[in-house]
Structure 1
Amino acid sequence: MTRRLDQQIRADLEDQIRSGAWAPGHRIPTERELMAQYGCARMTVNKALSALATAGLIERRRKAGSFVARPHVQTAVLEIPDIAAVIESRGEAYSFRLLSRSATGAAAPPEAPFEAGGERLALTGVHVASGEPFAHEHRLIALSAAPGARQADFSARSPGSWLLENVPWTLARHRISARAAGELAAPLGVTRTAPCLQVERWTWRREDPVTYVRQVFPADRYDLVAEFSPRA
């Protein structure tokens, strides 16, 4: 079966994107350039580009052109994802940029499930995908539950990856909300008013708290996905 020309244009452009030949942010040839290359009408090119935009592979910006979209990362709502593994599974280079680290026994913020006086490790950092900020993270770790965190090198490995491998948990809670980037605009590389997804997570081992984390993602980088069936 012969492909329509708009389908062929879409397939050719998609091959360039999925192969990595065109990285996120790469400018797609203009409609006029594609019309000349394929010898077709603007409507045919527009149909191919619209299909790529609907599939989330390109972003069409008014008066600027079309660009390869940054891939969305998807994780299940009820799982604790290893961000490093998820990003690397998509073929993107991953790193964690540690911004601050301190141990404290002072009163914990109200959102964290730690008792006053318990020693905690406080960490802030940025998850990086293909050289660009992917998420800002603020985390508290109870050193009574995870004493090995005191010596762990979180400049080389993210706290979440280390915890998933070294500290078992029995109970977790999520809270998901929308927010503007605000004071996190600079480390995330966005404007202060840019929409973001904020994910907060608490984990316990039996009755003992293990960690509290707040992760803030630019809205165009991350999706939470759930599959479920109707109740019997």
Structure 2
Amino acid sequence: MAEAKPLPLWRQVLEDLERRLERDEFTHRFPTDRELVQHYGTSRHTVREAVRHLKARGLVERERGRGGVVTDPSLSQPMGALYNLFATVEQAGRLQDSRVLALDMRPDAAAAEKFGYDPVTPLVHLERLRLMDGEPLALDTVWLAPDIGRTLLDVDFAHTSLYDELAARTGVRPTGGTETISAVVPDEALVEVLELAPDEGLLRIERVTTHAERVVECRLTLLRTSRVALRSTWPSETALEGRVMPPPAPSAEARSQR
């Protein structure tokens, strides 16, 4: 019987790091490459290969020159549904707070267009820095229709849900809408406000919600990619059998040649 070959060094380091992660050994900070080299007595290439596999699986995130952090996948945000970020954080057993940066009435031409209002119409404007366990999670800007939003101008939004307050005071709760998600490279101001790590990106989530087919809210959320994972549920393989993606629409040039 052939003798089993020993595992490559990087694999041995990887398996030991996995065991240490399971023991919550890196609660505050994940070691730098130099610290791992010293601990395991191996080359920088070996530890980098082990860490690369941890990063690929979303278990750690690296900060250049400062080690890294162990990612926390406990906050999972659903897609394709009208979710409540406040409830998502609370249900994950995390502490949800907000710093209210603005709560007033002011015009905004882009938001007014979505409501179907004149560009100079004053809208209710709420801007919050959303926190999870005391650390920045998202920057949230909301515009509400004035006839229903006025009732919220005296609300303390430090620890409450906008949708819950809206329902309690007006009987209106969003029942539908659309959401567009894109990636954003933050500028220096956003890096400072959201306390972003080097090379950390943001998700830009634009939402328009409706009630009884009427637009009641326009929202822009800038969400830290390191603090949340988006989740989508797909049909079973059986349900997908025979389905194909629709062909792309013909270009204007192709249509003109028909």
Scaled by the length of structure 1, what TM-score is found? 0.73
For residue 187 of structure 1, report the CA deviation from its aligned partner.
1.9
For residue 209 of structure 1, report the CA deviation from its aligned partner.
1.9
Q: Does 1:184 align with 2:178?
A: no
For residue 114 of structure 1, report the CA deviation from its aligned partner.
4.5
Q: Does 1:127 align with 2:130?
A: yes
Q: Does 1:226 align with 2:227?
A: no
Q: Say which SS state the counterpart of residue 112 (structure 1) adopts.
A: helix
- CA distance in 1 between counterparts of 2:217 and 2:17 reads 49
The aligned counterpart of 1:214 is 220
The aligned counterpart of 2:110 is 109
What's the CA shift string for 1:46-94, capped at 9, x where partnerless?
A: 6764543333222245554343235474322212222223234444332
CA contact (8 A) 1:58 1:66 kept: yes
The aligned counterpart of 1:204 is 210
Unaligned 5+ segments in structure 2 are 1-10, 244-258
Q: CA RMSD in A?
A: 3.6
CA distance 1:192–1:10, change in 2 (3 Å): closer
- CA distance in 2 between counterparts of 1:47 and 1:216 reads 32
The aligned counterpart of 2:153 is 150
- CA distance in 2 between counterparts of 1:45 and 1:97 reads 40
The aligned counterpart of 2:61 is 59
Look at both structures and tell me which one has the larger radius of gyration over its CA atoms.
2
Unaligned 5+ segments in structure 1 are none
Larger helix percent: 2
For residue 149 of structure 1, report the CA deviation from its aligned partner.
1.9
Q: Say which SS state the counterpart of residue 117 (structure 2) adopts.
A: coil
Instruction: Give the partner amino acid of 2:18.
Output: R
- CA distance in 1 between counterparts of 2:94 and 2:183 reads 26
- CA distance in 2 between counterparts of 1:61 and 1:155 reads 31
Q: Say which SS state the counterpart of residue 53 (structure 1) adopts.
A: helix
> Mean alpha-carbon deviation: is it higher for 174-183 or for 56-65?
56-65
Partner of residue 13 from structure 1, selected from 6, 21, 25: 21
What's the CA shift string for 1:30-58, capped at 9, x where partnerless?
A: 3245427xxxx669866764543333222
**Which runs of structure 2 are paired with 1:81-92 in the superposition (5 Å)?**
81-92=83-94
For residue 173 of structure 1, report the CA deviation from its aligned partner.
0.8
CA distance 1:185–1:162, change in 2 (3 Å): farther
CA distance 1:162–1:51, change in 2 (3 Å): farther
CA contact (8 A) 1:181 1:193 kept: no
Instruction: Give the partner amino acid of 2:110.
Output: P
- CA distance in 2 between counterparts of 1:135 and 1:201 reads 14
The aligned counterpart of 2:201 is 195
CA distance 1:169–1:160, change in 2 (3 Å): closer
CA contact (8 A) 1:197 1:219 kept: yes
Larger strand percent: 1
What's the CA shift string for 1:15-43, capped at 9, x where partnerless?
A: 216xxx714xx23373245427xxxx669
